[in-house]
Amino acid sequence: MISIFRDYRGDIQKGSAEIFFRKVKFWKEDGIEEAPPVFNLDGVNYIHVKLVGLLFVATTRNNLPPSLVLELLQRIARVIKDYLGVLNEESLRKNFVLVYELLDEVIDFGYVQTTSTELLKSYIFNEPIVVDTGRLSSLGPAALFMQGNTRMPGTAVTKSVVAQEPRGRKREEIFVDVIEKISVTFSSSGYILTSEIDGTIQMKSYLSGNPEIRVAFNDDLTIGRGGSSIYDYSGSSGSGSVILDDCNFHESVHLDSFDVDRTLSLVPPDGEFPVMNYRITQEFKPPFRINTLIEESGNYKAEVILKIRAEFPSSVTANTIAIEMPLPTYTTRVNFELEPGAVGQRTDFKESNKRLEWNLKKIVGESEHTLRVKLTFPQELHGNITKEAGPVSMTFTIPMYNPSRLQVKYLQIAKKTKTYNPYRWVRYVTQANSYVARI
């Protein structure tokens, strides 16, 4: 474990990092086993976010807006990632001097100065030590996408914006990711009760000279429910196939021609930044269908049948699927029965919180998987077991797939030059923000 600590005002007792770690690791309050992002201990406010397995923590005795501090921690993590290329324990360990230099320039005596990667370049003198990112395990699930059996070239998340190629050449590339986190709630009969998409168009630029670029979206894109635009664009009326309830843009984005041809123009700053955030609540086809059946098979037994159906095309593959389901608190024994020939699947029963877990390494589109679970109880059932079990929750990542159908049609660099070699792929990824099926 590595700990990077900086005390800006000297009003927090020594050892606060160890106090925080012990409190979070053994947190058990109000029946919750995971510490909230904000809590108070002995007059000190601890505010933290967890990113890629790393904890970013701020402590203060002042009554600060928690959302402000959480946003600051997110931006600090983003700046560190821009400079190191990849954010993990190994990269921090090799670059702790550079990280301390970044922290001293971002915050001065407890006051935030800047979180701009571009502005920090003139103040940072240490060069990053690039870690070996050849191992897939060091990358997040959305960091490296596979298309068929061919690995897609280049990945923005493993490159530093300040490190140069061998021979002193600067990378002339730009990366665009469309990341959508979906929240879906199914009824016990399988109907969709609620559905929502929180999307981000993420960009990371390695272009020298900060040239102006143009990004084009679907022609049938509509902003505002009912065809009325929240930005009062006269051309936004009508019903498009992609309807954004609301959206916001990065400060560098110009919307002069957005109403005419659905294009954005911007001068991208160095580093990673969100070009656009959006929210969609219109109906969309969920990537998975979850069906659950619970049957009593005797006075002291019951059987649970979980069935997962992939609704996306067979050319797409979902990764790192995790399914959880709370079981009745009086469950004493659980037996799992997977499909014949099942590969890359793992099941477990957590005795401490009476929860079953079903993990699948991957699911190919248009496929179906079933798990049978036999439960044993110490006493005869008198109540309704369906009220004691569930709901079923699911997390997953689907590269090169987005349910909203929002597309980046093209990316153009206004000033053409032979030195620019823009990345030709736009990467799409869908993740589960909250995917729940009621029993």
Both tokens of 170, joined, read 């600067």
For residues 217 and 70, membership in a common domain is answered with no
| Residue 241 CA: distances (Å) to CA of 151, 244, 276, 282, 412 | 32, 10, 19, 10, 24
The pTM of the full predicted model, rounded to 2 decimals, is: 0.75
For residues 292 and 370, membership in a common domain is answered with yes
Q: For 111-165, write each residue's pLDDT tens digit.
A: 899 998 888 888 888 888 877 655 434 334 344 333 333 333 344 456 787 766 5
3-state secondary structure of 97: helix
- Residue 234 has a pLDDT of 34
Residue type, 349: F
CB 185 within 8 A of CB 197: no
For residues 263 and 329, membership in a common domain is answered with no
For residues 302 and 271, membership in a common domain is answered with no
Rounded Cα distance between 332 and 198, Å, is 39
Residue 1 lies in a domain: no
For residues 294 and 395, membership in a common domain is answered with yes
For residues 245 and 276, membership in a common domain is answered with yes
Both tokens of 412, joined, read 């153009």
Domain count, the chain: 3
Residue 157 lies in a domain: no
Q: What are phi and psi of 417, to 5 degrees?
A: -150, 155
Q: What are phi and psi of 235, to 5 degrees?
A: -85, 0
Counting Cβ atoms within 10 Å, is residue 6 exposed (0-12), middle (13-18) or buried (19+)?
exposed
3-state secondary structure of 78: helix
The angle at the Cα of 97, spanning 156 to 81, to the nearest 5 degrees, equals 20
CB 155 within 8 A of CB 254: no
CA neighbor of 320 nearest in space, from 388, 238, 398, 221:
398
For residues 301 and 273, membership in a common domain is answered with no
Angle formed by the axes of helices 96-106 and 66-84, to 10°? 140
Residue 18 DSSP symbol: H
Looking at the DSSP bridge assignments, the partners of residue 194 are: 185
149: CB partners within 8 A, 6+ apart: none
For residues 235 and 184, membership in a common domain is answered with yes
Residue 153 lies in a domain: no
3-state secondary structure of 28: coil
Q: For 24-35, write each residue's pLDDT tens digit.
A: 888 877 667 788
Beta pairing, strands 54-60 & 44-51: antiparallel
Residue 146 lies in a domain: no
Residue 303 lies in a domain: yes
Both tokens of 73, joined, read 């921690």
CB 304 within 8 A of CB 293: yes
Residue 311 lies in a domain: yes
For residues 295 and 391, membership in a common domain is answered with yes
> What is the CATH classification number for the domain harbouring 64?
3.30.450.60
Residue 5 lies in a domain: no
> What is the CATH classification number for the domain harbouring 205?
2.60.40.1170
- Residue 31 has a pLDDT of 60
For residues 200 and 334, membership in a common domain is answered with no
Residue 160 lies in a domain: no
- Residue 439 has a pLDDT of 80
- Residue 425 has a pLDDT of 67
Instruction: Name the maximum alpha-carbon separation found in the chain.
Output: 77
Residue 8 DSSP symbol: S
**Residue numbers of the domain that contains 328:** 288-399
Give the total residue count for the chain.
439
For residues 28 and 96, membership in a common domain is answered with yes
CA neighbor of 53 nearest in space, from 32, 77, 76:
77
Counting Cβ atoms within 10 Å, is residue 213 exposed (0-12), middle (13-18) or buried (19+)?
buried
- Residue 253 has a pLDDT of 93
Looking at the DSSP bridge assignments, the partners of residue 196 are: 183
CB 58 within 8 A of CB 73: yes
**Low pLDDT (below 70) residues in the chain:** 1-2, 30-31, 132-158, 163-171, 225-240, 381-383, 415-425
For residues 293 and 395, membership in a common domain is answered with yes
